[in-house]
């Protein structure tokens, strides 16, 4: 009898695994994917750009449709929600979302790729109409339908992380008046506060009303049961639309209920082959798992599409009987607000101190091209090293066009545990249209070396 892989969740991690398995094992493995939504293999990261109007959606955001996957021999079942897993029997129960009919599927391998859901704080009014999370294409569709049908004039974005920033800009571009509320003192708490302050300024410059250091106490709802305002400890903000951007949490109830182990974040714990701890036939990948952070040497929930794709591939190869490992992350990320680019990797200063590093930090101002070259743009690089080992601990870049992707150089240095001395002396591409003769990252490394003495 042909063995069967059941995949729960048809986005990046799940479909990457399914596709790899099918490519490797062909007919030797039956691959069934259960997806509760309307779409598979889509770019969730593209949703803000769809909402803003930069990108047409939702089709453009779909890398491969269910029909295309089916043509490759994958049994994709849409609108089908896994409702329970029985590990001892090796079965999954699933429900057709529309008809309610149920089916039980045995598996030889199980892949859990249930993703994450936007955090919904337990606030009065949180379930009112007009309150939106942005995680799936279905979420994006609902939000756009709301914007187009109701023509809201004011939006409050709750949370100033990547999605919050991107959605604030998207709403602005849709013509809404936008406030962004965050409990922290600066937006982008993945950055050190002085770097976050640069982001705040850029947000304000484009016309976002940035309110930091304040908490949301509730959502006010009108007679139609529609949100109309956001109550904060600093007053009430009118809101025809509320975007929840408080980050996401791993969606692991199903797996937890089956007895699979989760970490502090709620994400599933796996080994480097993406097998769930303690299981030989259950794999997990993507936004529902924790990833090994190579810098802090700890398990963290790092929900990013790029990891989901890689982890899905690793899981798929192992399911297909090959060997592959996911070697962890260094917490690299990038985004932009209008033409301000933001990149980060490694530890923040507070993280590093908490972990006991004797931190040496520097901030330098430089330019994206040779200072004399037309179109050169300002950029700021912060960098941290450990005084004892001189190792790079983290870096952040904020600047105009051509700035942020340079964070990859720091990410690669972190990956290989280079010292800032080595980073300063490494061989980066130089020509006047691309860089100053000391690359901006190396100018920062040189400053760190000078501080280390």
Q: Does 357 bind a second copy (CB under 8 A)?
A: no
Residue tagged 């406030």 (tokens): 179
CA–CA separation, 65 vs 43, rounded Å? 12
**Beta strands 333-337; 154-158: pairing state:** unpaired
By CB under 8 A, the count of residues binding a second copy is 64
Q: Does 43 bind a second copy (CB under 8 A)?
A: yes
* Contact string 390-409 vs a second copy (x = CB under 8 A): ------------x-xxxxxx
Q: Does 213 bind a second copy (CB under 8 A)?
A: no
> DSSP states of 381-443 as a string?
EEEEEETTT-BEEEEEEEESTT-GGGHHHHHHHHHTT-BHHHHHHS-----TTT--SS-HHHH
Among 270, 278, 261, 283, smallest CA distance to 108 is for: 283
Q: Are 227 and 261 in contact (CB under 8 A)?
A: no
CA–CA separation, 368 vs 48, rounded Å? 26
* Contact string 287-306 vs a second copy (x = CB under 8 A): -----------------xxx
- Kindly indicate which of the ranges 121-129, 175-183, 210-218, 420-428 contains the residues binding a second copy, using the contact rule CB under 8 A: 420-428
Instruction: Write down the catalytic residue from 45, 171, 338, 410.
Output: 45
45 a catalytic residue = yes
CB of 409 to a second copy, least distance (A): 5
> DSSP states of 154-208 as a string?
EEEEE--SHHHHHHHHHHHHTT-EEEEEESSSSS-TTS-HHHHHHHHHHHHHTT-
Closer CB to a second copy, 152 or 328, in the complex: 328
Among 326, 352, 360, 398, binds a second copy (CB under 8 A): 326
Closer CB to a second copy, 125 or 161, in the complex: 161
- Kindly indicate which of the ranges 116-124, 173-181, 274-282, 366-374 contains the residues binding a second copy, using the contact rule CB under 8 A: 366-374
CA–CA separation, 139 vs 142, rounded Å? 5
CA–CA separation, 245 vs 131, rounded Å? 11
Among 218, 247, 261, 432, binds a second copy (CB under 8 A): 432
3-class SS at 313?
helix
Closer CB to a second copy, 256 or 417, in the complex: 417
Among 121, 327, 353, 354, binds a second copy (CB under 8 A): 327
CA–CA separation, 319 vs 24, rounded Å? 10
Q: Does 389 bind a second copy (CB under 8 A)?
A: no
Among 136, 154, 162, 202, binds a second copy (CB under 8 A): 162
3-class SS at 223?
coil
Q: In this structure, what DSSP letter does residue 41 have?
A: S
Q: Does 132 bind a second copy (CB under 8 A)?
A: no
Q: Could you list the residues that contact a second copy (CB under 8 A)?
A: 12, 43, 45-46, 49, 54-56, 60-61, 162, 304-307, 309-310, 326-336, 341, 343, 345, 370, 372-374, 402, 404-409, 411-413, 415-416, 418, 422, 424-435, 437-439
Which residues are known catalytic residues?
Answer: 45
């Amino acid at each position: 009898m042909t063995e069967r892989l059941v995949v729960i969740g048809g986005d990046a991690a799940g479909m990457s695994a399914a596709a790899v398995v099918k490519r490797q094992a062909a007919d030797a493995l039956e691959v069934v994917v259960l997806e509760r939504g309307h779409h598979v293999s889509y770019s969730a990261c593209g949703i803000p750009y769809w909402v803003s109007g930069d990108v047409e959606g939702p089709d453009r955001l779909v890398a491969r449709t269910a029909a295309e996957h089916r043509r490759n021999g994958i049994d994709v079942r849409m609108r089908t929600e896994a409702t329970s897993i029985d590990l001892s029997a090796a079965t999954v129960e699933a429900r057709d979302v529309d008809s309610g009919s149920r089916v039980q599927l045995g598996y030889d391998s199980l892949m859990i790729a249930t993703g994450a859901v936007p955090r919904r704080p337990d606030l009065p009014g949180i379930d009112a109409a007009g309150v939106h999370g942005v995680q799936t294409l279905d979420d994006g569709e609902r939000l756009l339908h709301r914007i187009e049908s109701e023509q809201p004039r004011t939006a409050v974005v709750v949370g100033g992380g990547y999605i919050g920033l991107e959605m604030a800009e998207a709403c602005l571009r849709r013509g809404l008046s936008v406030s962004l509320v965050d409990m922290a003192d600066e937006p982008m708490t993945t950055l050190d506060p002085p770097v976050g302050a640069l982001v705040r300024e850029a947000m304000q410059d484009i016309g976002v009303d940035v309110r930091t250091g304040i908490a949301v106490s509730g959502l006010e709802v009108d007679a139609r049961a529609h949100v109309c305002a956001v109550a904060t400890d600093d007053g009430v903000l009118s809101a025809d639309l509320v975007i929840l951007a408080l980050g996401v949490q791993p969606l692991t109830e199903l797996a937890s209920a089956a007895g699979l182990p989760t970490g502090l974040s709620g994400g599933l714990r796996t080994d480097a082959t993406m097998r769930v701890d303690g299981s030989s036939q259950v794999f997990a990948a993507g936004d529902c798992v924790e990833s090994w952070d190579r810098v802090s040497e700890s398990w963290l929930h790092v929900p990013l599409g790029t990891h989901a794709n890689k982890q899905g591939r690793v899981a798929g190869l192992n399911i297909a009987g090959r060997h592959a490992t996911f070697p962890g992350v260094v917490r690299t990320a990038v985004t932009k607000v209008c033409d301000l680019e933001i990149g980060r990797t490694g530890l923040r200063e507070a993280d590093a101190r908490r972990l006991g590093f004797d931190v040496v930090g520097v901030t330098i101002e430089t330019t994206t091209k040779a200072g004399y070259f037309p179109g050169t743009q300002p950029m700021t690089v912060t960098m941290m090293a450990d005084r004892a080992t001189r190792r790079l601990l983290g870096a952040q870049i904020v600047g105009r066009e051509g700035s942020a992707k340079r964070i990859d150089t720091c990410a690669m240095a972190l990956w290989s545990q280079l010292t800032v001395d080595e980073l300063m002396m490494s061989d980066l591409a130089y020509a006047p249209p691309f860089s100053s003769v000391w690359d901006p990252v190396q100018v920062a490394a040189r400053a760190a070396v000078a501080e280390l003495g």
